[in-house]
Amino acid sequence: MERTISFMNGEGSLGHNTRAFIAANVDADRTKDNITLVHEDLKKVYHKLFDDSLKKYNAKQKRKDRQIKNYYDKISRSKQEKLFYEVIVQIGNRDDTGVGSAAADTAVKALQDYVELFIRRNPQLYVFGAYIHMDEETPHVHIDFVPYTTGSRRGIDTRVSLKQALSALGFKGGTRRETELNQWVAYE
């Protein structure tokens, strides 16, 4: 039987993904069945990705007020970038791939493979969280990532940038509908 595949941009709720809180559509008795594929602390990821570049940038600054004390805090206040992005991938729906069915077991294996390939295919999107939810009606995976670019000539040389990360992956913007993000989503 054929299945649909949905790929959508999520809101990016780490509390929902890790089940720090239980939403109304979640069966709390099945939360133990969820599968964590990748789980890293976001602040530690920022230190890993950006601390070396931040030190170099700050060392070049002649004025103390131009130094960046904490890159995580800077991005958290940014109007241009987000701390992280999220995509949600689901195979099938509750009618043909509901949790507990044989089709759902197959979908879970496919989602696990997908996450592994996603990480390999998208090296500029640092995946720090990947969670398969089995406590809702249909298995699906939340993939949380930090998009970054290296070699920037202005400012910090390794920095958060979804547009530049996707450009480095080969997606070049065009029209309003053919943005780097839209091209990447269609490719995925």
Write out pLDDT tens, residues 111-151: 999 999 999 999 999 999 999 999 999 999 999 999 999 99
Inter-CA distances, 153 with 57, 74, 82, 144, 149, Å: 11, 19, 21, 27, 11
SS3 15: helix
Q: What is the mean pLDDT of the chain?
A: 93
Through-space distance between the first and last CA atoms of the chain, rounded to whole angstroms = 22
SS3 71: helix
Which pLDDT value is given to residue 21? Answer: 86
Q: Against a cut of 0.85, is the pTM above it?
A: yes
